[in-house]
A and B are shown apart, each in its own frame.
Chain A
Amino acid sequence: MAEIHLSDAEKTFIIHGVQDNLREDGRGCEDYRHLEIETGLVSNTSGSAKIRLANTEILVGVKAELGEPYPEKPDKGRLEFFVDCSANATPEFEGRGGEELATELSSMLARAYQCPSCLDLRKLSVVEGKQCWIIYVDVLVLEYGGNLFDAASIAVKAALFNTSIPTLTVSHDEGHVEIDLSDDPYDVQRIEVTAAPCIVTLSKLGHSHVVDASSKEEACCLARLMLGVTEKGTVTAMKKEGSGSLDTSSVEDMLQTGRRVGQALNKSLMEVLMSDDKVGKKQHLTGFLR
């Protein structure tokens, strides 16, 4: 992660502020920073989204391709996550520097999306055991300003919401199976993402915890708890990160906060995506990195 050098005095200032529910940028402990989401930006993808969470900028491209399902799950499609921490974000990501963070992020995303109820992979099956849709979700980190996991998960959900897969018709003919692709480019299917999770990261600072830590706050924080929270308020994945440990009772408190914040986040995200979807493409945008 991007390295920020803070003196002990600055750290103490931030931690004491958090204990009084006032953070260095004026937020409360459970407030997110300003969030901008745009969908459908990259024309060569099946779905895409870009998120800007204060200084964190992430672009997600989704591509749907036909391929073989896993032999142990013949009736299911596949969902694959790839994360690229580009050296644009911070010089430390150069070469193989971002690899560790990238695998951590992709495995967390994969774990959060693993349960059958949050994304029904059965709908992505075309011919059982032979052909299925493989959804490649590529996450590109363009700028790093703290709270990468939350931002990435929101962007992934938005991009999957935006994804449209061409409708296929399967016909069985004398033992042959034929797959036909519809000629109409608007004859598409969407992916149901209402139940998909968003990751909420809770950073322990002093005796309290905050959501959406900025990179300065991340530098003061020793232990984080990441939760994949759905709109229903269930947890699909949990993980402790960082070199510190957490008290048993504070884990419980963090879970409570995580549920509350995660549910609200999912709800408002879906509202925004829905209303954005209704408006449709308004005008031709140029320069999406503004």
Chain B
Amino acid sequence: MPADSRRINGPEKSISPYAFSKPCKDIKITEPSLQRKDGRNPDNIRPIFLKTGLITQAQGSAYIEQDGTKVICSVYGPRAVIRKEEFSMQGQLTCDFKFTTFSCHNRRQYQQDAEEKDFSVQLLEALEPAVLLHKFPKAQVNIMVTVLQNDGSVLAASVTCASVALADAGIEMYDLVIGSSARISGATILMDPCATEEYSDKDSAHVNNGSVTVGLMPSLNQISAVTSKGELEFEHLNKAMKHCVSMCVDLYPVCQQALAVAMETRINADPKT
């Protein structure tokens, strides 16, 4: 990766002091009856705050908060594709996913790292099936997603946030895409995991330790994104996916309501439009 010459980057190599601290004993999440650290049951999700139209210059924008996870997304376009080589009769979608440098436990760099690039692609592939691309030929829509605070389930929150922002921008879509994620630990499935519950490869080597993220278009019953991490047996994976799908269905009215509220305020503010 080329060095970033425009910013003062601080010491070339620095390490968060937490790297040297003893890892806190893995929360015992194998017992199904056990309550989670934040008092939730395994099936409970965190309270969601969703609002559109925060960024006034953008055609559409949305902000989602799932307790400690805070994501903001703006949508620009459709606007003309400038480069001639990129001409296409189908509209183009671009996605730019970024963690702010201070959003995670360890500091991140300004430039997109491999994980952020991976998330950008996954986000794009989650949203592409939902958008009516043929409605804006020779044009592109840019989606910018910024994570302000990361407390787990970031990709799922970003998918929801970005699809609501697209809807807010008036981009024609077949359906909203709702994201949800689950952590699998043995027989337990924890919905909407927070950062300490999320899977990392530091965890024990047992089978059935991992996480799943699903993007669903609820009214079409189509899965537009699915990713998993960690070694999982098929039965557990299937079960976790089913849980995720039902969580997406539960979230659907929340997103619809947020959009309805935004539309109402828009109409009330300017009755002519």
Q: Does A235 count as interface, using CB distance less than 8 angstroms? A: yes
Taken together as a complex, chains A and B put the C-alpha atoms of A240 and B123 apart, in Å, by 11
Residues of A within 8 A of B217 (CB): 245
Q: Are A247 and B223 in contact (CB under 8 A)?
A: yes
State the Cβ distance, A237 to closest chain B Cβ, in Å: 6
Q: Are B118 and A240 in contact (CB under 8 A)?
A: no
Q: Does A242 count as interface, using CB distance less than 8 angstroms? A: yes
* Closest B residue to A244 using CB positions: B129
Residues of B within 8 A of A241 (CB): 125
Q: Does B121 count as interface, using CB distance less than 8 angstroms? A: yes
CB-contact partner of B227 in A120, A230, A234, A238, under 8 A: A238
Q: Does A259 count as interface, using CB distance less than 8 angstroms? A: yes
Counting contact residues on chain B (CB < 8 A from A), the size range is: 35 or more
Q: Does B194 count as interface, using CB distance less than 8 angstroms? A: no
Q: Are B231 and A234 in contact (CB under 8 A)?
A: yes
Residues of B within 8 A of A243 (CB): 125, 128-129
Taken together as a complex, chains A and B put the C-alpha atoms of A73 and B202 apart, in Å, by 7
Residues of A within 8 A of B245 (CB): 248
Taken together as a complex, chains A and B put the C-alpha atoms of A107 and B231 apart, in Å, by 16
Taken together as a complex, chains A and B put the C-alpha atoms of A117 and B128 apart, in Å, by 35
* Closest B residue to A239 using CB positions: B227
How would you classify the secondary structure of chain A's contact residues: helix, strand, loop or mixed?
mixed
Q: Are A111 and B229 in contact (CB under 8 A)?
A: yes
Q: Which of B114-142 contact A (CB under 8 A)?
A: 114-115, 117-118, 121-122, 125, 128-130
Q: Are A248 and B222 in contact (CB under 8 A)?
A: yes
Residues of B within 8 A of A107 (CB): 114-115, 117-118
CB-contact partner of A251 in B129, B226, B231, under 8 A: B226
Q: Are A103 and B114 in contact (CB under 8 A)?
A: yes
State the Cβ distance, B198 to closest chain A Cβ, in Å: 13
CB-contact partner of A236 in B20, B130, B227, B231, under 8 A: B231
State the Cβ distance, B143 to closest chain A Cβ, in Å: 15
Counting contact residues on chain A (CB < 8 A from B), the size range is: 35 or more
Taken together as a complex, chains A and B put the C-alpha atoms of A165 and B216 apart, in Å, by 45
Q: Are B234 and A256 in contact (CB under 8 A)?
A: yes
* Closest B residue to A115 using CB positions: B231
How would you classify the secondary structure of chain B's contact residues: helix, strand, loop or mixed?
mixed
State the Cβ distance, A274 to closest chain B Cβ, in Å: 23
* Closest B residue to A120 using CB positions: B205
* Closest A residue to B233 using CB positions: A234
Taken together as a complex, chains A and B put the C-alpha atoms of A71 and B203 apart, in Å, by 16
Q: Does A65 count as interface, using CB distance less than 8 angstroms? A: no
Q: Does A255 count as interface, using CB distance less than 8 angstroms? A: yes
Q: Does A20 count as interface, using CB distance less than 8 angstroms? A: no
Q: Does B224 count as interface, using CB distance less than 8 angstroms? A: yes
Taken together as a complex, chains A and B put the C-alpha atoms of A257 and B230 apart, in Å, by 20
* Closest A residue to B216 using CB positions: A248
Q: Are B114 and A242 in contact (CB under 8 A)?
A: no
Q: Does B19 count as interface, using CB distance less than 8 angstroms? A: yes
Q: Are B230 and A252 in contact (CB under 8 A)?
A: no
| Known contacts A103-B118, A239-B122, A255 near B238 by CB under 8 Å | yes
Q: Are A225 and B229 in contact (CB under 8 A)?
A: no
Q: Chain A, 243-281, contact with B by CB distance < 8 Å: what is the 0/1 string?
A: 111111001100110010000000000000000000000
Taken together as a complex, chains A and B put the C-alpha atoms of A120 and B223 apart, in Å, by 33
Q: Does B164 count as interface, using CB distance less than 8 angstroms? A: no
Taken together as a complex, chains A and B put the C-alpha atoms of A225 and B130 apart, in Å, by 18
Q: Does A116 count as interface, using CB distance less than 8 angstroms? A: yes
Q: Does B5 count as interface, using CB distance less than 8 angstroms? A: no
Q: Are A234 and B226 in contact (CB under 8 A)?
A: no
Q: Chain B, 189-206, contact with A by CB distance < 8 Å: what is the 0/1 string?
A: 000000000000111111
State the Cβ distance, A200 to closest chain B Cβ, in Å: 12
Taken together as a complex, chains A and B put the C-alpha atoms of A100 and B122 apart, in Å, by 12
Taken together as a complex, chains A and B put the C-alpha atoms of A252 and B15 apart, in Å, by 42
Q: Does B80 count as interface, using CB distance less than 8 angstroms? A: no
State the Cβ distance, A163 to closest chain B Cβ, in Å: 20
CB-contact partner of B205 in A116, A236, A244, under 8 A: A116
User: Can you list 20 A-B contacts (CB < 8 A)?
Assistant: A107-B114, A107-B117, A114-B230, A115-B201, A115-B209, A116-B204, A116-B205, A233-B233, A234-B234, A235-B228, A236-B232, A239-B122, A240-B225, A243-B128, A246-B224, A247-B222, A248-B221, A252-B238, A255-B238, A259-B234
Q: List 7 additional A-B contacts (Cβ < 8 Å) besides A103-B117, A235-B234, A236-B231.
A: A104-B118, A115-B209, A115-B229, A225-B226, A233-B233, A245-B129, A245-B222
